[in-house]
Amino acid sequence: MESSLRIVAITNCPAGIAHTYMVAEALEQKARSLGHTIKVETQGSSGVENRLSSEEIAAADYVILATGRGLSGDDRARFAGKKVYEIAISQALKNIDQIFSELPTNSQLFAADSGVKLGKQEVQSGSVMSHLMAGVSAALPFVIGGGILVALANMLVQFGLPYTDMSKGAPSFTWVVESIGYLGFTFMIPIMGAYIASSIADKPAFAPAFLVCYLANDKALLGTQSGAGFLGAVVLGLAIGYFVFWFRKVRLGKALQPLLGSMLIPFVTLLVFGVLTYYVIGPVMSDLMGGLLHFLNTIPPSMKFAAAFLVGAMLAFDMGGPINKTAWFFASHCWKTHL
């Protein structure tokens, strides 16, 4: 490898709490030990820190992208034409030496548009898993914040504070805290679906996916026994995301093209998927989710230990990766439904 390289990097993970900063620190330490200069932009739970400037990116010899929830279209566009080394955040921490040794041989010329080729290298597009992780990452603060408030309300009741809901007069403080907490669980599903869709097709997909996923998870609106839950968020988020991704490529002429992203895409997408969700997708996904919850409610006592062991093993399997987040999100949804 050439001596004294200039390197820039981005790190992010689904939760944005641990791996984002651990990998950033490891990259900085390794680069310094090799005599390279490096700047790492972290996209964690506190937002973007140490943001890379366009000048720093232009001057860099290599770009390292260690991501667990993918990058937005705007982020990817920043590195067009650069030599980029991509690695999953879950693999980066245990392969720091390999990252630097493979920079000259495994870095690829990069473009924001996954259909573009630069030189002889074909640019890799975002994977479905990276889009799912973007949705999970966005939903986590809703689950965490809401869950802590619900737990706090229950703890206060255990200590003797009264619990009175609105049907019995003026609501108590514990009821108010619990209700605010359950708002987090209410909105985690539409937020998850919206961020999955926007990870695929950017901002035009966000609002339609949010509204349609809210509809799919509202059993009163659908007239079903249960909401579509996180299964509905995954299916609708992906479907709406790829639909809008295709829709954005439509060319309507100079006069109408400016209206495509702000008016036509939200209107058409919401109409098409709203109707489909009400009559088809919502009821089907609600039945699937209801069947799954019924199975868990009626599981024989002898099998509960095995089920708990399976979920625990999934949580510990991949150091905060996709399997961990899937199990964690599923368990949180079961908590929301009082399972």
Instruction: Output the pLDDT for position 111.
Output: 67
**Polymer length in residues for the chain:** 339
**Cβ neighbours around 330 below 10 Å, total:** 17
- The residues annotated with a catalytic role in the active site are 13
Domain that holds residue 284: 130-336
Q: What is the pTM of this model?
A: 0.72
Note the pLDDT tens digit of each residue in 288-311.
877 877 777 777 777 777 777 777
Note the pLDDT tens digit of each residue in 23-46.
999 999 999 999 999 999 998 877
Tell me which residue has tokens 């720091």: 96
| Secondary-structure percent of the chain, ordered helix, strand, coil, rounded to 5 | 65, 10, 25
Residues 162 and 289 in one domain: yes
Is 330 a domain residue?
yes
Residues 101 and 176 in one domain: no
Residue among 112, 52, 117 at smallest CA distance from 80: 112
Is 326 a domain residue?
yes
Residues 158 and 28 in one domain: no
Residues 152 and 256 in one domain: yes
Residue 333 binned pLDDT confidence (cut-offs 50, 70, 90): low
Residue 215 binned pLDDT confidence (cut-offs 50, 70, 90): very high
Tell whether the model's pLDDT for residue 181 goes beyond 80.
Answer: yes
Residue among 202, 193, 248 at smallest CA distance from 72: 202
Tell whether the model's pLDDT for residue 87 goes beyond 70.
Answer: yes
Is 232 a domain residue?
yes
Residues 247 and 108 in one domain: no
Is 1 a domain residue?
no
Residues 160 and 216 in one domain: yes
Q: Of the residues 71, 92, 122, which one is the last residue of a structural domain?
A: 122
Question: Residue 251: left (phi > 0), alpha (psi -120 to 50), or beta?
Answer: beta
Residue among 194, 128, 183, 132 at smallest CA distance from 324: 132
Q: Of the residues 122, 141, 160, which one is the last residue of a structural domain?
A: 122
Residues 97 and 154 in one domain: no
Give the rounded percent of residues in the chain with a pLDDT score beyond 70. Answer: 86
Instruction: Output the pLDDT for position 25.
Output: 94
Mean pLDDT of 108-120: 55
**Domain total for the chain?**
2
Residues 212 and 318 in one domain: yes
Residues 330 and 184 in one domain: yes
Lowest pLDDT segment from 63-72, 286-295, 322-331: 322-331
Tell whether the model's pLDDT for residue 319 goes beyond 70.
Answer: no
Lowest pLDDT segment from 88-92, 125-129, 227-231: 125-129
Residues 107 and 183 in one domain: no
Write the single-letter amino acid at 226. S
β-pairing, 83-88 with 108-109?
A: antiparallel
Cα distances (angstroms) measured from residue 335 to each of 144, 183, 294, 330 = 12, 14, 14, 9
Residues 164 and 19 in one domain: no
Q: Of the residues 100, 122, 144, which one is the last residue of a structural domain?
A: 122
- Please indicate whether residue 298 or residue 173 has the higher confidence score (pLDDT): 173
CATH of residue 90's domain is 3.40.50.2300
Q: Mean pLDDT score of the chain, rounded to an integer? A: 83
Is 108 a domain residue?
yes
Is 288 a domain residue?
yes
Residues 61 and 168 in one domain: no
